Every structure is written in C-alpha cells, then in structure tokens.
Structure 1
Amino acid sequence: MTKAKNTGLFILLIIQAALIVYLYRPGQGAPPPATLLFSGLRPETVTSFTITDNTGKTISLAKIKQAWIVGPDGYPGDNDKINNLVRRIAGLKSSRLVSRTRGSHSRLKVGDELFNRKIVLSGPDRKKVVTFFLGTAPSARTIYLRRAGEDDVYEVGGLSIWKLQTDKESWWQRKYVAVKNADLQSLTLTNHGKIISLQRDAKENWQLAGTPADRKLDRNRVTKLLNSVCRISISGYEGKNFAPQDKAIATITYKTRDKTFKLRIWPKNNKANEQVIKNSQSRFYARLEPYILQDTLELKKSDLLLKLKQPSTQPPAAAKKKGGPAPAQ
C-alpha cells in the first residue's frame, strides 16, 4: 500500500515538474510584438494640426503648399520640427496596454474632457484623420495615450506634453534669413549712405567694388561677413499690423542665382534691447538681439581688405668693409 502511494506521489511530482517547464519555457513571458497605433496615418496627407492643453487653450497649424503656418495670423512655422512630429506620431508603437476600462480615463488624464493634451490631425478639406489624447507620464520617457472613440489606454514613448505646447512661439520658424554662401552671387550693404558691394567674378571669386589697385581682399574677413548675414535667426515676430515708427538705417541686398531680396534694418531699441528687421520675402517684421548684426553695421570697406605692409623703420645693416676686418696687432 505504501509502495503504491509513493509511486503515485512520484508520478504527481513528475507531472508538476513537466507543467512548470511548459509554463515557463523560453519566450513564454515575452510581451506581444509592438504594433502601430495609427497604421492608416500617412504623414504626407496631413494638412492641419491642432493641439489643445488642459486649460482649453488651442494652437492650430496648417500646411499650405508644403509650408506650415502658425495660428490665424499665418506666422511662418518650423517645417522641420512640425514634419518630424507628424512622422513620429505616424510611427508610434506600443506593446503595453495599460487599461481597457472607461473608468480609468479620468485618473490617467486621457478622458474626452479631462486630458493633458488633445491632438487632432486632419487631411484635405479639414477631414479628421487622427484624434488622440495624452495624459500623465508614468516615467520620464513614456506617456499614456488613448485614441478617440476607444477605451484602451496605452503607454508609449517618443512623445512629451512639454514638446506639444499651445503658444505660437513654440512653433515659429526662427530662421529668418537662410542663404547658402555658394548660391550667393552678390551682396550689397547700404549703411547711412555708404555702400559696400561684393560681386563674384567669372571664376566665382569675390571682388569688392572700388578696391584700389594696390589692395587685396581679405578672404577670411569676407567669409566671416557672409556667415553672419546669410544665416540670421530671430527672437520673434511682430504682429501682422506692425509698422515701425523710425526709418531703416541699413539695407542688405542679396542676389542669388534665382532671386533677389532685401533685408532692412532699423535702429536698436535700447529699452527692449532688440532690433527690428524686415525680409522682403516675408509678410512679417521680426525682432533679433542687436549683437547679431552689430559687426555688420559697424563694418567699413577697408575692413574687408588686407592690411598694407608697413615699411621697415629699422636702419639697414652696416655694410661689411671690403677685405674683412683688419688683423689684430
């Protein structure tokens, strides 16, 4: 009897061991493969983008002829930043399903009324393509997301509410002048009636108009000038109805292979420590910090020329006497 009982227990142990091996076999505890949350979203079809924060404030971005504009006034948008964000949303994946209950939406702040961010992407004719909500962040790299019309809540990475602000300044294009040096054919600076004009010659070398025959162009100084005026970033835009009270003190005229435009510059506002500029290609006046163009406005034509070699002030060395020194006595 005892022998039969022991045999039965032994068989039971073997069955339990086999069950444990089966349940905990390699790969059994691995999470399900990550899948796209917005599989039907094609970034190139998105033509508008709205963000609403938890206070109800909304910012609208719209794409017109492949260029993004910000808000109802149509400020230039940062195309790279916005396009990268749309592509990131289209590529969102999650392998972690946090909740499937509607009651969790308010707690996780992904509800229809209680949320941290509501994002709406639309296509042509304002037809909604994707709507979703972002809630609290369980970690520094992840955030809760719920697609509109669904109860499921996911934990995703790659998005942050701090990068989805509702102020227009966060989405402005700050590059106000962007010209490649190699494309520039001429540059003319008019400052208080004085003109500095640079032109490329047939060999693509820069020449300064009015250079004396005995002077040569300082190529390094010219390159420094071009770098400072061909890439100008601003601190902000003025309103669409803004008009400066003073007259412009300087104008820079750019001529490339396919276009010509001007940048007008106004006096520094000492109170605000800013300077107003206006690109003829833009609808908007802009503001920048005065130091950005300070060297350009103080530039003289002679600064672009190599310094003349000064004649030596030392007397010529005494000529040696013919025949060498006299023999010692």
Structure 2
Amino acid sequence: MNQSVTIDVNKATAVTVSSPVKVWQQRLTLILFVQLLLIVGIFAYNKNTQLNVDAQPLLGTAISEVDRIVIRDANSSAALQKAASGWQLPELHQLPVDQQKLDDILQKLEGTKLTWPVTTTSASHERFEVTDKKFQRRIELFTGDTKKADILLGGSPGFKKVYLRKEGDDNVYAVELTTFEFATNATEWLQKSLLAVKDPTMIKAADYHLQKKGDQWSFVVPAGSTPEKIAAEKLNELTNAVASLQIQSVEAQAPEGGERATIAVASSAGEFTFEFVKADGAFFVTRSDNNRYFKISQYEYERIVSINKAALVDNKPEAPASVVTNTSDPIADITSLDSVLKK
C-alpha cells in the first residue's frame, strides 16, 4: 500500500536552525552559573581564611618591661626615659612626661593585633612609606640597652589607620593607629600641668592675703581690723586659675627685664612662690621648687596676675531690711472698735 509523505521544508529548516541556538543558550547559561559559583566560592574562601588567621600581638614584650622609648621622623626625635619617680624627658632637664598621654599610646601599641598583611614583598615598602630611609614614624622600645621593638609607621590607608611594618619583617599591615599620636618633639610630651597647685588653701599677692579655713575663704587682716567680704565669683576664678595653670614650653634662659609679679600659694603639697614675668610681648612663670622658667600664654598670665584686692572685694551693698507696713483698712478697724464699745 502506497502512502504519500509530505514534508514541510520551512518547518524542518526552523527546527534545524533553532536547535543549535537553544543548545548554545543552555551552555552559556551553565557557564555563567558556574562562574557565579566560583566567584562566591572564592569570596567565601578568602573571607574564611582571613577570619581564621591567628591575630598576633604587635609587641613581643610586656609594656611594663619597657624603660626607654625613642620616637623619630625624618627630621627630629624624642626620647622618653623611665625613672623611679616616673617617666621623664632627658632632653628637657629630666622634666616629667604627660603620663596620661604616654599611657594612651602604650595601651594602643599593646592592644594592636596583626592579622592579614597588605603586602608581603619588600619591593612595596617604599610605596607604603615603611622603609629604613622613608617612614612617617619610627618607634623603638628598649629594656636597658636591649631593643625590644622597632616599628615603622608609614602612609595612611584610611581614617585613623596607618601602614605598619616591623623591622626585619617584610609584611606590611594596616592598623588602627595614627602618626600624630607619636610626637617627635620632646616638648609635646611635657606635662603641661607641672606647676599647677591643686586645692589651694592660701594665696598671697602684693595687695591681698587669702586664707581658707574649712570650707570658708577670708582675707587675712591685722588684729582688730574687720576683713572685707570676698567676691565669690572672682575668688573662684583665681583658685581655678592656680589649680589648672598650664605651661607651654621650658625656656633655655631666664627672661630679662619686663614686668614681674610674685604670688605665694599653699596647699597640702606645700607652699610655693611663683614669679610671673611679662617681657618682650611674651609671658613666663617660674616656681620656687623649680629653677626653670616656662613660657605660658597671655590668658594664663592675666587670669592670675590681673586679679588684685579691688577685684576680690565684694562691694555690693547689703540688701535693705524689709519694712513691715500695716495693710489693714482703717475704716473697718474703727467700725470693729465701735462695735466692741457698744457691747
């Protein structure tokens, strides 16, 4: 039995053409999917690897063992030396270091951990500014004559961060430190409140003498005299100025000439005599237990020297005594009295 077969050439051609396109679409989709899986896998691997890197302490020694610190930049350096009485500045006549400022940076160094390095090759050190010749800061910690740490700080990768390398190690790290915290000028480390007298109990100047007994301040006057009343606001200004006096720097030589004012101050720590000097547009102070002169601001100078007895006396007049007046109605009073008499 003969059967005729009819073939639609157009449809056959369409099938033949469309099939390879669909196949390639499927292959490309599969390739894209595999690429996405690879990207996610690599990211997860790197993330997991970074998290699993053991954090190593920056310092290999305890901070308590460090007794000398040298901080350098390209042009200057500052040395801090530990003594029995505390940290001192050898370059500034063994004057005391600002202990709070020093404690802050030592705690940061001790707490800094090194995890994933930014680079591990020496060829990149110059770019990050952590070479022996090119650096922002070099921090050397000693115990006696033994160097316990040699740290190079370079450029900044971001806010409150800096590149760091330890001498002898090619690894460079990004850590949460800043170069400005590590001053290379000894004056920046000087304890600025060195001459302040906390909780004064006596202050004596050319024209006044104040004494504190218990919680009360009064003028010291000759026997038989009546002391003036003290202006509380000005007294507070004066005692606060003495208790928070801030120096700026130590002078190599004593200032010559100028205007001079002497003030004595006592507290539980002892009695001290200050000499304030205004010379050549600058302001200075020295204290009897320290033969050095220190530069101070005009503000610090004036808030102590400009206060005299006239400013400390309270001249406000006493409030007048209150006068009791009769506010009753006189007509009502007469009527009331008349009623009483009629009875």
* TM-score, structure 2 as length reference: 0.72
On the 8 A contact 1:187/1:198 being kept in 2, the answer is yes
Question: 1:223 aligned to 2:236?
Answer: yes
1:286/1:34 CA distance change after superposition, 3 Å: farther
User: Who is 1:296 aligned against?
Assistant: 304
SS of match in other structure, 1:108: coil
SS of match in other structure, 2:242: helix
User: Who is 2:4 aligned against?
Assistant: none
CA distance in 1, matches of 2:266, 2:159: 48
1:94 maps to a residue whose letter is L
User: Who is 2:79 aligned against?
Assistant: 60
1:72/1:92 CA distance change after superposition, 3 Å: same
1:262-294 Cα distance to aligned partner (Å, 9 max, x none): 21112x22x4x2112102233421111233232
CA distance in 1, matches of 2:45, 2:141: 38
On the 8 A contact 2:89/2:186 being kept in 1, the answer is no
Where structure 2 has 5 or more consecutive residues not aligned to the other structure, the ranges are 1-26, 332-343
CA distance in 2, matches of 1:164, 1:115: 13
Bigger strand share: 1
1:151/1:188 CA distance change after superposition, 3 Å: same
1:248/1:74 CA distance change after superposition, 3 Å: farther
On the 8 A contact 1:131/1:148 being kept in 2, the answer is yes
On the 8 A contact 2:218/2:229 being kept in 1, the answer is no
CA distance in 1, matches of 2:158, 2:39: 34
User: Who is 2:182 aligned against?
Assistant: 164
SS of match in other structure, 2:233: helix
1:214 shift after superposition = 7.1
CA distance in 2, matches of 1:199, 1:35: 59
CA distance in 2, matches of 1:100, 1:48: 30
CA distance in 2, matches of 1:58, 1:214: 55
1:135 maps to a residue whose letter is G
- CA RMSD, 1 decimal: 3.6
Alignment of 1:118-137 (within 5 A): 118-123=138-143, 125-137=144-156
1:91 shift after superposition = 1.1
User: Who is 1:188 aligned against?
Assistant: 204
Sequence identity (%) = 22
Bigger helix share: 2
Question: 1:108 aligned to 2:157?
Answer: no
2:234 maps to a residue whose letter is R
On the 8 A contact 1:248/1:264 being kept in 2, the answer is no
CA distance in 2, matches of 1:104, 1:216: 73
SS of match in other structure, 1:178: coil
CA distance in 2, matches of 1:298, 1:135: 47
1:130 maps to a residue whose letter is A
1:179 maps to a residue whose letter is V
On the 8 A contact 1:228/1:293 being kept in 2, the answer is no
SS of match in other structure, 1:198: strand
1:39/1:162 CA distance change after superposition, 3 Å: closer
Divergent runs of 4+, >6 A: 19-22, 24-28
1:74/1:141 CA distance change after superposition, 3 Å: same
SS of match in other structure, 1:233: coil
1:28-57 Cα distance to aligned partner (Å, 9 max, x none): 7243257243353322222211122134x3
1:217/1:153 CA distance change after superposition, 3 Å: same
1:134 shift after superposition = 1.3
User: Who is 1:238 aligned against?
Assistant: 251
1:27 shift after superposition = 8.4
1:36/1:250 CA distance change after superposition, 3 Å: farther
CA distance in 1, matches of 2:268, 2:77: 41
On the 8 A contact 1:252/1:264 being kept in 2, the answer is yes
1:257 shift after superposition = 1.7
1:226/1:128 CA distance change after superposition, 3 Å: same
User: Who is 2:261 aligned against?
Assistant: 250
1:153-211 Cα distance to aligned partner (Å, 9 max, x none): 111112x2233332233222222432322xx222222x3xx3x211122x331121128
User: Who is 2:211 aligned against?
Assistant: 199
- Return 283-292 or 35-44, whichever deviates more: 35-44
1:97/1:221 CA distance change after superposition, 3 Å: same
User: Who is 1:209 aligned against?
Assistant: 220
On the 8 A contact 1:215/1:308 being kept in 2, the answer is no
On the 8 A contact 1:34/1:93 being kept in 2, the answer is no
* Number of aligned residues: 293
On the 8 A contact 1:235/1:288 being kept in 2, the answer is yes
Alignment match of 2:288 (pick from 277, 280, 286) = 280
CA distance in 1, matches of 2:63, 2:180: 22
On the 8 A contact 1:70/1:172 being kept in 2, the answer is no
1:99/1:27 CA distance change after superposition, 3 Å: closer
CA distance in 1, matches of 2:103, 2:115: 25
On the 8 A contact 2:58/2:114 being kept in 1, the answer is no
1:102/1:304 CA distance change after superposition, 3 Å: same
